[in-house]
Amino acid sequence: MTNIQLTILLEKYAETITKVNHKNIIEFFGITQDYEADNYYMVLQYAGNGDLEHYLNAHFSKLKWPTKIRMAQEISSGIDCLHNANIVHRDLHNKNILVHGDRMIITDFGLSLSLDNVAASIRSRVYGRCEYSDPQYINATSEYKWNKYSDIYSLGVLFWELSSGVPPFKAFKNRVTRMSMHLIR
């Protein structure tokens, strides 16, 4: 990736994430550059408990239903904020939900897009993790128009994971991923 491409990507990320201000969406502080190494870095909010996948692996057996419900509500509240700003995340999964204290924080807006940009909402290549992706996206034989329902499907997969401790397709993950990739081609 060239510096120009990286700069465009970082600007898009910053533009998207600064459109929203919500306690369940990662806070963006800025971008800095290490001139000697020619690297760019995003400065984001700290989340001390890692991602949701690791958090559930470590703590699931101790989580009570009221806590699981609150976690689901917080993720939903963040998605609602994005959708009210006409933003679709497109890559919502357990690694893109961070845990800070007892708060859920949605992160990784690298694939997100504004629905105001109709051309950008058309799929031209594969994005995200198949097991969290909308089946209509996986099964699309041609262009797929991203919409808020794509995130809602991913949210449902996260709810399953919050209630059971594992993603719904874990036993079939490798098979599902291979089949999905075959269908996409």
Q: What is the pLDDT of residue 118?
A: 46
Q: Is 81 among the domain residues?
A: yes
Asked if the structure places residue 12 within a domain, the reply is: no
Average pLDDT over the chain, rounded to an integer: 82
Residue 2 confidence (pLDDT): 74
| Residue 120 confidence (pLDDT) above 60 | no
What is the reported pTM? 0.82
Instruction: Flag whether 77 is in a domain.
Output: yes
Token pair recorded at residue 133: 């992706």
**Residue 135 half-sphere exposure toward CB, CA atoms < 13 A:** 4
| Region at 34 (left for phi over 0; alpha for psi -120 to 50; beta for the rest) | beta
pLDDT surpasses 70 at 104: yes
Provide the number of structural domains found in the chain: 1
Mean pLDDT within 69-97: 94
Residue 165 covered by a domain: yes
CA 58, distance to chain mean position in Å, is: 21
CA 48 to chain centre: 18
Give the pLDDT score at 18: 87
Which residues form the domain of 54?
A: 48-184
The answer to whether residue 8 sits within a structural domain is no
The fraction of the chain above a pLDDT of 90, given in percent, is 44
The reported pLDDT for the residue numbered 9 is: 78
80 is catalytic: no
Q: Is residue 18 part of a domain?
A: no
Say yes or no to pLDDT of 172 above 70: no
Report whether pLDDT(168) > 80. yes
DSSP string, 123-180: --S--S-GGGS-HHHHH-SS--B--HHHHHHHHHHHHHHHHHSS-TTGGGHHHHHHHH
Q: Which of 34, 38, 91, 151 is catalytic?
A: 91
Mean pLDDT of 151-167: 93
With beta carbons less than 8 A apart as the criterion, state whether 41 and 33 touch. Answer: yes
Residue 33 within any structural domain of the chain: no
pLDDT tens for each residue of 14-42 = 888 888 999 999 999 988 888 898 788 88
Instruction: Report the b/e string of 153-183 with b at 16+ CB within 10 A.
Output: bbbebbbebbeeebbbbeeeeeebeeebeee
Model pLDDT, residue 167 = 85
Q: Read off the CATH number of the domain in which 99 is found.
A: 1.10.510.10
Q: State residue 5's pLDDT score.
A: 77
171 inside domain: yes
